[in-house]
């Protein structure tokens, strides 16, 4: 009995579909295409809705990424210019330090040369001064001896 009822319901649905197709054909004679009416499956509807939601989410994510990319593309040239200016300033400062370092090296070489010449002449000058001191000591001793001789002469 159930099978017969299902068979009759299925047949009735088929007749209705056939009738709908015939009506569609006669209502749209210019297209010449037949319309097939397919019953809507809830699973297909759910999947289509799910796909639409996913597509909308992906479109929103893509729009956000494109906006971020656009912002970065506009910010990067200014950041690059800023970094280029900083590099130029650092290079200029480095050049100044290098020039100052070269000047200090030249001054150091000059001081070392002066020190070397002073060290070379210093022992000679010291020897000259020691000899002069010894000569003066001898002159002083001779003058004292002469003074003692004169005093001895006077005391007699």
> Could you tell me if 35 and 19 are in contact, meaning their C-beta atoms sit under 8 angstroms apart?
no
3-state secondary structure (DSSP) of residue 33:
coil
Q: What is the pLDDT of residue 60?
A: 94
The residue with tokens 């200016």 is: 85
The residue with tokens 């030249």 is: 106
Instruction: Give Cβ neighbours of residue 30 (< 8 Å, ≥ 6 apart).
Output: none
The domain ranges of the chain are 1-39, 40-155
pLDDT tens per residue across span 13-58: 988 888 887 887 777 655 555 556 666 677 778 888 889 999 999 9
Residue 69: pLDDT band with limits 50, 70, 90: very high
Residue 9 CA, distance from chain mean position? 75
pLDDT(64) > 90: yes
Whole-model pTM over 0.85: no
Which one is predicted more confidently, 100 or 38?
100
């Amino acid at each position: 009995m159930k099978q017969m009822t299902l068979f009759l319901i299925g047949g009735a649905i088929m007749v209705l579909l056939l009738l709908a197709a015939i009506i569609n054909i006669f209502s749209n004679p210019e297209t010449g295409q037949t319309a097939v009416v397919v019953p809507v499956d809830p699973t297909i509807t759910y999947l289509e809705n799910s796909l639409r939601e996913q597509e909308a989410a992906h479109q929103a994510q893509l729009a956000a990424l494109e906006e971020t990319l656009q912002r970065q593309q506009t910010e990067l040239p200014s950041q690059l210019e800023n970094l280029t200016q900083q590099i130029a300033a650092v290079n200029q400062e480095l050049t100044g330090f290098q020039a100052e370092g070269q000047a200090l090296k030249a001054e150091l070489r000059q001081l070392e040369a002066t020190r070397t010449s002073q060290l070379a002449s210093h022992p000679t000058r010291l020897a000259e001064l020691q000899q002069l001191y010894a000569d003066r000591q001898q002159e002083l001793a001779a003058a004292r001896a002469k003074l003692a001789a004169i005093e001895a002469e006077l005391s007699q």
